[in-house]
Amino acid sequence: MRKRVVITGMGVCAPNGIGRTNFADAMAQGKSGIQFQPQLKEFEFGCQIAGKPELTDEILAPYFTPLQLRGLSATGIMYGVMAGTDAWNDAGLPKAGQEKPDWDSGILFGSGTLGVDKFYEAIHLVDAKKVRRLGSTTVIQTMASGVSAYLGGILGCGNQVTTNSSACTTGTEGVLMGYERIANGQAERMLVGSCSDSGPYVWSGFDAMRILPRNYNDNPEAASRPMSASAAGFVPGSGAGALVLESLESARARNAKIYAEVLGGAINSGGQRGDGTMTAPNSEAVQRCISQAVRQSGIENSDIDVINGHLTATSKDALEIENWSTALKRSGTDFPYINSFKSLFGHCLSAAGSIECVAAVLQFEKSQVFGNINCEDVHPTITEIIDADCIPQKTITHKPHILAKASFGFGDVNACVIFKRYMD
């Protein structure tokens, strides 16, 4: 008998809001977190804008001891620890005592590139034959599982503590992996999320590929334009999102606040076959992923009333809409409301799925569908498939019932999770 899984805590460190309340307000108000980045101009990037959470010593102090902060330069770990700790506190869960871990609680916190600045520092010290100056935190800051290791020690979790990595799909995939562990009775609670480093050494490869917008350096907030006819590429971003998943029995037993229920989902790959490549999705795989998520969740296509897409503001946006329409067998005015949060904080790479999952679930709490900014000129290919009214330009009042959230990543990998308004 599989257990029901609910969301009891959320935390976020996003370009347009640090902390759940600030982030929720920014999303509802359509407040952008994309800004001009002087460092990118200094390095002569074509795209000199990005979404980056701004951290200060004052902001970091509640999350790290002075010793932990000493030499800590991995921004992804900072973002992840902040989001993960906030989610744990939001769920009303205690940290384990010093003598014994919490055997029923685990962590699955993903990352892409982690500790890039620390790697850069280490390489220069090694080349200069100054290995002894690397310090004792170099390893943990540069290993992929550094963020889950940090959180595991802070919270004292004794169940599975690990890291996943699947490019832009990482965060959404992690939600489903955590969901499965609880549904199968292997854990009572899982802190799931993902993070991404910020800075030129992370974003340079995308600038070199010329898939970032280059004509908005003087107008950053207008640059990220998912589903728009004038979309010119994705804006790079960074940060972290985190959710506490918990068995319904455990949540009820401690009278926890429940944000939503996780019904299930699907994860697959297009194998880089057919029209799928390292950077482009296999349409059949995307459609199968969505269809399998619906079936696995025990719902009908018609039950979904809101979609949060991947939708990065590239030429593939129209294809994604077509894939959703084909998979759900819905089009025109019958199509659900759909939005892309990348218009407000950019594409946060390995952190994208988790930050967007937090935002998607917040729509249940606020009884709203957050708007798509910079999409006044919806791409004509999209409006041939779905009605333009399905793409709200501003936040609207709507009480979501069932929401589908999907992420599609480099390597032709896909994940789709189904959230439901919790009803006792």
pLDDT score, position 121: 87
Task: Indicate whether this model's pTM tops 0.85.
Answer: yes
Is residue 365 domain-shared with residue 226, that is, in the same domain?
no
Closest CA to 321 of 305, 339, 302: 339
Kindly tell me if the per-residue pLDDT of 120 is higher than 90.
no
Q: What percent of the chain has pLDDT over 70?
A: 100
**89 in Cβ contact with 9 (< 8 Å):** yes
pLDDT tens string 23-72: 999 999 999 999 999 999 999 999 999 999 999 999 999 999 888 888 89
Using an 8 Å Cβ cutoff, are 40 and 52 in contact? no
Residue 424: inside a domain:
no
Q: Given this model, what pLDDT does residue 303 score? A: 98
Distance, CA of 188 to CA of 149 (rounded, Å): 20
- Measured on CA atoms in the order 363, 75, 312, 163, is the torsion positive or negative? negative
Spatial separation of the C-alpha atoms in residues 97 and 44, rounded to whole Å: 50
253 class by beta-carbon count within 10 Å (0-12 exposed, 13-18 middle, 19+ buried): exposed
Question: Both 194 and 340 in a single domain?
Answer: no
Q: What is the pLDDT of residue 135?
A: 81
Are 241 and 280 part of one and the same domain? no
Give the pairing type, strands 337-339 and 413-420. unpaired
364 belongs to a structural domain: yes
Give the residue from 253, 281, 304 where a domain finishes.
253
Query: Do 32 and 160 fall into the same domain?
Result: yes
Which residue, 409, 410, 412, 48, is CA-closest to 207?
48
Residue 349 CA to residue 18 CA, distance in Å, equals 18
Can you give the length of the chain in residues?
Answer: 424
- Strand, helix or coil at 144? coil
| Cα 354 to Cα 259: distance, rounded to the nearest angstrom | 15
Dihedral pair phi/psi, residue 200, rounded to 5° = -60, -30
Q: Are residues 240 and 137 in the same domain?
A: yes
Decide if 375 contacts 393 (C-beta within 8 A): yes
CA distances, 4 to each of 158, 266, 380 (Å): 22, 16, 41
Report pLDDT digits (tens) over 245-285.
999 999 999 999 999 999 999 999 999 999 999 999 999 99
Tokens at 40, concatenated: 């990118």
Do 112 and 213 reside in the same domain of the chain? yes
pLDDT top residue among 120 and 4: 4
Q: CA 112, CA 143: separation in Å to the nearest integer?
A: 10
- pLDDT on residue 63: 96
E-strand ranges in 212-354 read 239-247, 260-269, 306-308, 337-339
Tokens for 408, please give them.
């599609």
Q: Do 410 and 269 reside in the same domain of the chain?
A: yes
Query: What CATH number does the domain containing 315 carry?
Result: 3.40.47.10
pLDDT of residue 70: 85
For residue 352, being part of any structural domain is answered with yes
Instruction: Compute the distance between CA of residue 413 and CA of residue 401 in angstroms, rounded to an integer.
Output: 27
Task: Give the pLDDT confidence score for residue 64 in this predicted structure.
Answer: 92
pLDDT at 424: 79
Chain-centre distance for alpha carbon 326: 25
User: Which helix (H) or strand (E) is 378 found in, with range?
Assistant: none
pLDDT digits (tens, 9 = 90+) for 294-330: 999 999 999 999 999 999 999 999 999 999 999 999 9
Q: The domain containing residue 65 runs over which residues?
A: 5-253
Residues 109 and 220 grouped into a single domain = yes
The domain boundary, picked from 253, 279, 305, lies at: 253
Same domain, 153 and 120: yes
Q: What is the pLDDT of residue 119?
A: 83
pLDDT of 140 reads 87
The domain boundary, picked from 230, 253, 276, lies at 253
Q: Three-state secondary structure along 2-64? A: CCCEEEEEEEEEECCEECHHHHHHHHHHCCCCEEECHHHHHCCCCCCEEECCCCCHHHHCCCC
Distances in Å between the Cα of 18 and the Cα atoms of 52, 87, 218, 272 are 11, 12, 25, 36
Q: Do residues 182 and 3 touch, judged by C-beta distance below 8 A?
A: yes
With respect to residue 72, please indicate whether it lies within any of the assigned structural domains. yes
Name beta bridge partners: 396.
369
Number of domains in the chain: 2
Mean pLDDT of 187-211: 97
Helix (H) or strand (E) holding 408: strand 402-409
pLDDT greater at residue 140 or residue 402: 402
Does residue 119 sit within a domain? yes
Best CA proximity match to 141, nearest among 101, 169, 111, 170: 111
How far apart, in whole angstroms, are the C-alpha atoms of residue 171 and residue 303? Answer: 24
- Does the structure show a pLDDT above 90 at 94? yes
- Same domain, yes or no: 223 and 286: no
C-alpha–C-alpha distance, residues 292 and 288, integer Å: 6
Of 51, 10, 2, 4, whose CA–CA distance to 365 is shortest?
10
Q: Which DSSP letter does residue 177 get?
A: H
Q: pLDDT of 151-164, one tens digit each? A: 999 999 999 999 99
Q: For residue 266, which of 173, 328, 165, 169 has the smallest C-alpha distance?
A: 173
Mean pLDDT of 92-118: 95
Indicate the average pLDDT of the chain: 96
